[in-house]
Amino acid sequence: MGEEGYSGETSYGVPLQRISEYMWRIPESYKPGMNVPGLVLADEKLLEKMRSDRTLIQCANVATLPGIYKYSITLPDGHEGYGFPIGGVGAFDVETGVVSPGGVGYDINCGVRLVKTNLTVKDVKPVLKQLAITLFRNVPSGLGSRRKDFRVTSRDLDALMVEGAGWVVRQGLGWDEDLEYCEEGGGIDGADPSKVSNTARSRGEPQIGTLGSGNHFLEIDVVDRIENPNVAKVFGIEYEGQIMVLIHTGSRGLGHQICSDYLKVMERAMHKYGIHTPDRELACVPASSREGEDYVKAMKCGINYAFANRQAIMHWVRESFSSVFKVSPEDLDMHLIYDVAHNIAKLEEHVVDNEGTKRKVYVHRKGATRAFPAGRPEIPAKYRNVGQPVLLPGSMADSSWVLVGTPKSMELTFGSTAHGAGRLLSRAKAKERWRGEAIKREMERQGIVVEAASLSVLSEEASGAYKPCDLVAEVSHMVGIATKVARLVPIAVVKG
């Protein structure tokens, strides 16, 4: 589950200088200690939501952290989070800068995986209810759910935290080629399970291979509109009406506990390093410190756990389609298009000033997606001539988007764009406003089949509680940090 923070405080007092139609600047003069300006990417409507909570205050607070370069960035899906805003990006010098769990988030490597098929909406409609029920049965979804035939030992968990999705593929749950189409090849180097607490391990061990609750979902989508046919074809998006599967989940209780553990470590250590922040939620330490290095090693365990989790779920999605259609996943062309992380801090090299100086930095992407352009070696060879696929999931009844990374993202946002719709209302407010039964009826009236572990999660995750994904994608496209490739709409949703 993602985090959310709704303190009741607003950002209306934060000064904004308009740079262009979709770009705004928070001047360094706004708050003592700001090392760089804030950069906010939004239209008027999205900006109003940011003003209504602490998003812009948090953007300015991040700008006070040691070693930050260029800007503290808030993306179009930005909303109040823990420490950093969700939809926030900051890049910190590897030697003089910091790492902060609040800049990654509780759900480490919450991310999205898009799987293609050769099915059309006409193929799927007659068996859609059966397919949704099969997915719900085969993929453990709710809080505390698990599969009886997929258990890991403590030793398995160690290997999984080091290897990521590759460990799951070695157990027979997937294809070797899947790893090529994951960010970091489905497993980031440098994970050290000894830096993960026993509490985190005990939470993570029974939850591997589970979707989880809250905003996590499994969705059968239809390609509604193709905006860039050339890039879409390279990605495997071939025609309107094509069926896709979107998987959205993260590192479950393991990642949450790693974040909690290291926030406490850093709160205690900050005084030792002479670091003072305007918000205790911004607990951080030098990236080069022992505590900083320990957090990065533990965080990487959470990253790899999440990659492994989505890999196992994708395997069961393939099995579910195969059982309903009586055809192998290979014959259904169920290849992975891409798996991209949302909550992550990564060591990357970026230009950090107007003189073209390159530095190694820890890019904190919290509720943000990497959006690298064509030519980057990190991108799968198949996509290298066009750019990285960027996946923006919408809310339950809303559209989702496939975008493509651009050179502009490297210039403006350290190779990043938004991660999805972004919340408008807290879960508590959403439950007050909507009833789960009514949400389910309305979705079914729209032709969307819903399978959920509880009706309450439907009210918490109602589309009205989120920003329109179309709007977030439009701002990203118009600013140029990731541009539109294809719009997807849901026809079946499985919720934890």
Active-site positions read 419
d(CA 456, CA 459): 5
SS (H, E, C) 249-284: ECCHHHHHHHHHHHHHHHHHHCCCCCCCCCCHHHCC
Buried b (16+ CB within 10 A) or exposed e, 359-369: bebbbbbbbbb
| H/E segment holding residue 166 | helix 165-170
d(CA 352, CA 137): 49
Which pair of structure tokens corresponds to residue 491?
């026809």
CB-based contact 67:92 (threshold 8 Å): yes
Adjacent-strand bridge partners of 24: 18, 40
Instruction: Give the CA count within 13 Å in the CB-facing half-sphere of 369.
Output: 35
CB atoms within 10 A of CB 268: 12
CB-based contact 303:251 (threshold 8 Å): yes
d(CA 382, CA 270): 45
Cα dihedral 156→159→161→165 (10° resolution): -90
